[in-house]
Amino acid sequence: AQSVAQPEDQVNVAEGNPLTVKCTYSVSGNPYLFWYVQYPNRGLQFLLKYITGDNLVKGSYGFEAEFNKSQTSFHLKKPSALVSDSALYFCAVIPGDNFNKFYFGSGTKLNVKP
């Protein structure tokens, strides 16, 4: 069965500190990996994606993510957190053997305190 895990329901960081939101996956084939962000009462917004190539991908708002094939992980990172980064973050995966299917993690609430 295909699955995406976000092991932390909530991550708390102080403004200016680095942040990491974790994601691991178990899907068929070579996956396509995404991060989305959801602000209160809004739809999801695309942040970044990994298809192939460099394991470190950069996205919107200063976020980046590191793909680790051996650990089947795709952790979201930012060097210096902002209060405005506080939101719900979702990892999403497309299996390499079915590009029509999207699998989402359960989400991680990021709280950035001033």
Partner 1 sequence: EAQVTQNPRYLITVTGKKLTVTCSQNMNHEYMSWYRQDPGLGLRQIYYSMNVEVTDKGDVPEGYKVSRKEKRNFPLILESPSPNQTSLYFCASSPGLAREQYFGPGTRLTVT
8 binds partner 1 (CB under 8 A): no
Helices and strands counted in the chain (H then E): 0, 12
Q: Does 93 bind partner 1 (CB under 8 A)?
A: no
Radius of gyration of the chain (CA): 13
Q: What is the DSSP string of 15-38?
A: TTS-EEE--EEE-SSS-EEEEEEE
Q: Give the x/- contact pattern for partner 1 in 36-55, rule: CB under 8 A.
A: x----xxxxxx--x-x----
The DSSP call for residue 51 is: -
Cα distances (angstroms) measured from residue 67 to each of 48, 71, 80, 106: 12, 9, 20, 19
Q: CB-wise, 15 or 26, nearer to partner 1?
A: 26
- Each residue 10-39 as x (binds partner 1 by CB under 8 A) or -, in order, gives ----------------------x-x-x---
- Does 99 bind partner 1 (CB under 8 A)? Our answer is yes
Which residues sit at the interface with partner 1, rule CB under 8 A?
A: 4, 6, 9, 32, 34, 36, 41-46, 49, 51, 90, 92, 94, 99-107
